[in-house]
């Protein structure tokens, strides 16, 4: 795990959101019907599902795009759909999710690829597919290649995703030209392959087959070979994929065994254990992984680091029903829980924190804010912090800088530096984020973060609390927590002197 406070996962997430990603591949509309099973059909030995709900989400390459958009990234989707009701539904979902679909072709000769899943609770009863695998015609191929050229001319960090589901969009010539354009502009290419003809993906920066695909490639490379252990087989699979694809790096997703990475951009083999604590549905977890890999590598945060973050993201999505996406705030919560992240992942500057909190509110979370010097953490502080967390979902603690503490408390204070005080505060389980402010009061910070609840200790009255009127003005509330008698930093300092 990255332990550099200046390069925390919060910083990584914000850099990733600034990456522009072009997702090129096969587009699918995933539709669902859910209901209850109460009896077996008299017509055949099959369950009767009484429909209760219908919905549709983006699938295939479009699910990669949906994941990028949900994470707060910038995405352009390129591929093919039909001219039918499913196409209208597909474009409507793209608009709703803020996915730029201006590079999507509508074909008169092919239907929109659709997967219909009938669900009884969490159990999938049946899946019905509608699709065509007709290859792109020359005009459509030229259109998509032009979109790739236009994308490569954009300024800023970029990445190209090739999401090949074998439905006809990823022709050999289109892939060759798209990857060639990306390489000439030094834009990383992340490929999710379905074809066993790995040469089609030559020039890829990172290729991500799953375990069964890796085994198929290994079998073609060395049929009948026996491997004494799974680790031996794993090494052989990675080597075979790298050789046959010509990719710089390979990430092999191993289901419950986690994910492993090999290649030119990593320092030796790296493996990350599975982060799926609960599996409701694995649909789309690979797409989530590809989305995070693309944003991470495009943002230059490093291949191993990108794989680590992508593995966590995929594990969270596995706990969701159906083809799912992940917001940045959900990811940060999962990162802290699953890696026991404390200090680097919680300490953020005000601008970065404001962005994260804004995204978190969109997920329905309530933000609680409190502030103080916290020079010597004592039982009174602990009680205040724990009670503060009970008022909402996310607790933000703002700490006075060394300069502002000196102005407030006088010479000899603070006893601990702002960095040390922030680290100690970040180690508290009830604290979600920590930030440091230079001003004598936190009002500017409160106006920036716009908390839903403002908390102070019992030595304050609501009308004297800085920022109270502002919080109430946007519909928030003020909470005053009684002080614990005899517990204060000043009393501790005096006692130690005596």
Give the residue numbers annotated as catalytic, written as ranges: 287
Count of residues for the chain? 498
- What single-letter DSSP state applies at residue 339? T
**Any residues with CB less than 8 A from the CB of 210 and at least 6 apart, and which?**
252, 253, 254, 255, 286
Cis amide linkage into residue 414, ω under 30° from 0: yes
Task: Quote the tokens at residue 415.
Answer: 């006893």
Q: Rounded CA gap, 80 and 394, in Å?
A: 41
Beta strands in 201-349 (DSSP E): 206-207, 249-253, 259-263, 270-272
CA 328 – CA 286 distance, rounded (Å):
17
Q: Which two tokens stand for residue 397?
A: 């603690």
3-class DSSP state of 241: helix
CA distance 495 to 486: 11
Under DSSP, the state recorded for 324 is -
CA distance 176 to 245: 12
Say how far apart CA 290 and CA 363 lie, in whole Å.
23
3-state helix, strand, coil in the chain (%, to 5): 40, 25, 35
Torsion of CA 479, 483, 487, 493, to 10 degrees: 60
CA distance 216 to 230: 15
Other CB atoms within 10 Å distance of the CB of residue 241 = 27
How wide is the angle at C-alpha 328 spanned by C-alphas 87 and 472, nearest 5°?
110
């Amino acid at each position: 795990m990255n332990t550099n406070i200046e390069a925390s996962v919060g910083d990584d997430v914000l850099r990733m959101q600034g990456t522009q990603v072009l997702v090129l591949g096969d587009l699918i509309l995933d539709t669902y019907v859910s209901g209850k099973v109460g009896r077996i059909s008299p017509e055949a030995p099959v369950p009767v599902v009484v429909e209760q709900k219908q919905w549709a989400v983006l699938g295939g390459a479009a699910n990669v795009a949906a994941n990028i958009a949900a994470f707060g990234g910038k995405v352009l989707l390129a591929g093919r759909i039909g001219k039918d009701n499913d196409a209208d539904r597909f474009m409507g979902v793209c608009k709703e999710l803020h996915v730029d679909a201006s590079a999507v072709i509508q074909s008169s000769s092919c239907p929109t690829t659709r997967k219909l899943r009938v669900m009884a609770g969490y159990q999938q009863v049946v899946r019905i597919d509608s699709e065509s695998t007709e290859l792109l015609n020359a005009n459509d191929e030229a259109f998509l290649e032009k979109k790739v050229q236009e994308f490569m001319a954009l300024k800023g960090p970029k990445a190209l995703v090739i999401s090949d589901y074998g439905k006809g969009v990823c022709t050999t010539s289109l892939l060759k030209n798209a990857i060639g354009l990306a390489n000439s502009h030094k834009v990383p290419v992340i490929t999710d392959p379905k074809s066993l003809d790995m040469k089609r993906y030559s020039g890829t920066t990172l290729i991500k087959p799953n375990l069964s695909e890796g085994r198929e490639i290994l079998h073609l490379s060395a049929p009948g070979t026996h491997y004494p252990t799974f680790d031996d087989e794993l090494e052989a699979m990675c080597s075979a994929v790298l050789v046959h694809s010509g990719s710089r790096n390979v990430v092999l997703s191993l289901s419950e065994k986690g994910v492993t990475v090999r290649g030119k951009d990593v320092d030796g083999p790296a493996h990350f254990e599975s982060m799926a604590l609960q599996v409701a549905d694995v649909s789309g977890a690979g797409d989530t992984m590809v989305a995070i890999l693309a944003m991470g590598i495009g943002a230059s945060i490093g291949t191993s680091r990108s794989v680590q973050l992508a593995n966590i993201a995929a594990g969270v999505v596995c706990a969701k029903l159906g083809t799912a996406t992940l917001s940045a705030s959900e990811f940060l919560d999962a990162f802290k829980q699953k890696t026991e992240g404390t200090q680097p992942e919680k300490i953020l500057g005000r601008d970065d924190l404001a962005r994260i909190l804004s995204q978190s509110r969109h997920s329905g979370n309530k933000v609680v804010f409190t502030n103080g010097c916290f020079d010597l953490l004592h039982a009174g502080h602990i009680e205040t912090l724990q009670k503060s967390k009970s008022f909402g979902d996310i607790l933000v603690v703002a700490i006075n800088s060394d300069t502002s503490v000196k102005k407030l408390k006088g010479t000899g204070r603070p006893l601990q530096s702002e960095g040390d005080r922030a680290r100690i505060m970040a180690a508290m389980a009830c604290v979600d984020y920590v930030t440091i402010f230079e001003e004598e009061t936190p009002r500017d910070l409160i106006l920036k973060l716009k908390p839903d609840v403002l908390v102070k200790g019992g030595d304050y009255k609501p009308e004297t609390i800085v920022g109270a009127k502002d919080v109430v003005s946007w519909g928030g509330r003020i909470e005053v927590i009684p002080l614990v008698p005899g517990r204060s930093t000043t009393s501790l300092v005096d006692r130690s002197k005596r």
